[in-house]
């Protein structure tokens, strides 16, 4: 049977029968058959079109089908589809120059992988080799990838299934910075940013700390934006203790927050920055681990014990060059700031009409809407254990209702993540928020139960 010629049902059935889909129960999975996508919309096999209000997995930064990136893929495939990483390529050189222009100043040496989780694995190895230390301090309410090192450094419940093997010795967790629901039960600004000071306390009371790993703006786990004092103070703490700072910008990078990278909001340069997703608008898989020249110089006379077959794969690098050029041409960083401010005001309006909305927070075109059963206690409808145990989640019902209205959005435990392509128009923002407005009636009714 030729799946391309089969009905939508047969394609969906074949995919569900013969392939796994990550982070879900496999039974009952009925994937929608998608056949094409353009700009901020994608279309299923029945001809119905959906507004992509989360840029798929918060990654299709340029929107779907950008001609320049598609052309770069085709041109590179025809010219040089693959060569081993020990060789030089024009795409590798050109992308390096583009990165020097857009990354925080001081990040000057690059390891190219094929995903964010691989970029983090490289960062961990580099930090441990350079410092001669082993421990990584990560935070709860974080996600850093699915491979063994990255999942061990992940604070959210996706780590649980990997334990105890996934609990790699040397990873310890600090409290997240989350002023809406502070894990230390403090209130900003009178707290003195206790959550970041506690990281200093951890370093002082732990031996052998190589690095602190943070998402500058937390992604899937709630689009948590830190107070302005947090990142500069974290930089000071790391410097004072000789500990490296790793910024995981897999989701918050590439204009998503209204700057090229989220750390730019606070003028902080990490020692290592990892990223992926929007670097190619997710058209091909590419991850990046960028380090300072000081770190790079260590490996002039020390063996770099890391690498893989697809390192610096030319077919992944050429579209990244095109994607960066397109972001500049379309002024997408500026558009993310402007359209994001409009989106934020529209989302905050929802709190007036919907008692189930506990918090709205975000930066640029990166937003979360928290759903709660009680605004005063800030108690969510569901918990991480509910997610892992397969219980029905209120937020999934909201997302399903939006999908039925022609708007796709990502949902996670107790919030929706709104992160559309940076090319989105205000009219499309309005359409997406109208669908969310209607779907929130489901959550409002749950409060009464």
pLDDT of residue 135: 96
pLDDT digits (tens, 9 = 90+) for 315-351: 999 999 999 999 999 999 999 999 999 999 999 999 9
pLDDT band at 9 (very low <50, low <70, confident <90, very high): confident
- Cα distances from 315 to residues 75, 289, 330, 335, in angstroms, run 9, 18, 23, 28
N residues, the chain: 449
Domain boundaries, given as residue ranges, for the chain: 7-62+331-447, 67-329
Pairwise pLDDT comparison (159 vs 323), residue with the higher score = 323
pLDDT band at 167 (very low <50, low <70, confident <90, very high): low
pLDDT of residue 56: 98
Q: Is the pLDDT of residue 163 over 90?
A: no
Instruction: Please report where in the chains the tokens 């939006």 appear, as a residue.
Output: 402
pLDDT of residue 162: 79
How far apart are the C-alpha atoms of 114 and 122, rounded to whole Å? 11
The predicted model gives 288-296 an average pLDDT of 98
Q: Is the pLDDT of residue 6 over 70?
A: no
Tokens of 171: 């990873």
How far apart are the C-alpha atoms of 259 and 267, rounded to whole Å? 11
The predicted model gives 420-430 an average pLDDT of 98
32 neighbors 44 (Cβ within 8 angstroms): yes
Supply the mean pLDDT for the chain. 95
Percent above pLDDT 90 for the chain: 94
Per DSSP, the residues of 229-240 read: THHHHHHHHHHH
How far apart are the C-alpha atoms of 449 and 446, rounded to whole Å? 5
pLDDT band at 128 (very low <50, low <70, confident <90, very high): very high
Instruction: Please report where in the chains the tokens 């990654």 appear, as a residue.
Output: 59
The predicted model gives 159-171 an average pLDDT of 72
pLDDT digits (tens, 9 = 90+) for 65-77: 999 999 999 999 9
What's the CATH number for 67-329?
Answer: 3.40.640.10
In terms of phi and psi (left: phi > 0; alpha: psi -120 to 50; beta: otherwise), the region of 23 is: left
Determine the topology of domain 7-62+331-447 in CATH: 3.90.1150
Q: Is the pLDDT of residue 1 over 60?
A: no
How far apart are the C-alpha atoms of 395 and 442, rounded to whole Å? 9
């Amino acid at each position: 049977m030729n799946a391309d010629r089969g009905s939508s049902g047969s394609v969906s059935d074949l995919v569900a029968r013969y392939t796994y889909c990550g982070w879900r129960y496999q039974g009952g999975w009925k994937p929608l058959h998608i056949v094409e996508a353009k700009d901020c919309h994608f279309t299923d096999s029945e001809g119905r079109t959906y507004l992509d209000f989360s840029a798929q997995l918060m990654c299709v930064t340029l929107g779907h089908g950008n001609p320049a990136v598609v052309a770069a893929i085709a041109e590179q495939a025809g010219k040089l589809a693959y060569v081993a990483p020990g060789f030089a390529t024009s795409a590798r050189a050109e992308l390096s120059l583009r990165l020097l222009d857009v990354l925080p100043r001081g990040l000057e040496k690059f390891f190219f992988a094929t995903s964010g989780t691989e970029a983090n694995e490289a960062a961990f190895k580099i930090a441990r080799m350079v410092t001669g230390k082993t421990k990584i301090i990560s935070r709860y309410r974080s996600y850093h990838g699915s491979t063994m090192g990255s999942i061990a450094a992940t604070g959210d419940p996706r780590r649980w299934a990997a334990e105890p093997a996934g609990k790699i010795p040397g990873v310890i967790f600090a409290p997240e910075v989350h002023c809406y629901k502070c894990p230390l039960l403090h209130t900003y600004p009178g707290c003195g940013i206790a959550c970041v000071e506690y990281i200093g306390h951890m370093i002082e009371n732990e031996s052998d700390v190589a690095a602190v790993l943070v998402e500058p703006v937390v992604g899937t786990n709630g689009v948590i934006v830190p107070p302005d004092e947090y990142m500069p103070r974290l930089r000071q703490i790391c410097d004072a203790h000789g500990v490296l700072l790793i910024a995981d910008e897999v989701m918050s990078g590439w204009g998503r927050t209204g700057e090229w990278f989220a750390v730019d909001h606070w003028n902080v340069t990490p020692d290592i920055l990892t990223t992926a997703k929007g670097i190619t608008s997710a058209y091909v898989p590419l991850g990046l681990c960028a380090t300072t020249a000081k770190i790079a110089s260590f490996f002039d006379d020390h063996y770099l014990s890391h690498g893989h077959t697809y390192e610096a794969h030319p077919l992944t690098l050429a579209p990244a060059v095109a994607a960066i050029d397109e972001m500049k041409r379309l002024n997408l960083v500026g558009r993310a700031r402007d359209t994001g401010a409009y989106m934020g005001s529209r989302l905050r309006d929802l709190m007036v009409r919907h008692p189930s909305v506990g918090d709205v927070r975000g930066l640029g075109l990166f937003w979360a809407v928290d759903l709660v059963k009680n605004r005063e206690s800030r108690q969510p409808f569901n918990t991480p254990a509910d997610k892992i145990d397969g219980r029905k989640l209120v937020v999934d019902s909201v997302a399903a209702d939006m999908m039925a209205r022609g708007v796709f959005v990502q949902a996670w435990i107790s919030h929706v993540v709104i992160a559309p392509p940076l090319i989105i128009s205000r009219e499309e923002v309005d359409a997406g928020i109208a669908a969310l407005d209607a779907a929130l009636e489901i959550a409002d009714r749950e409060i009464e139960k």
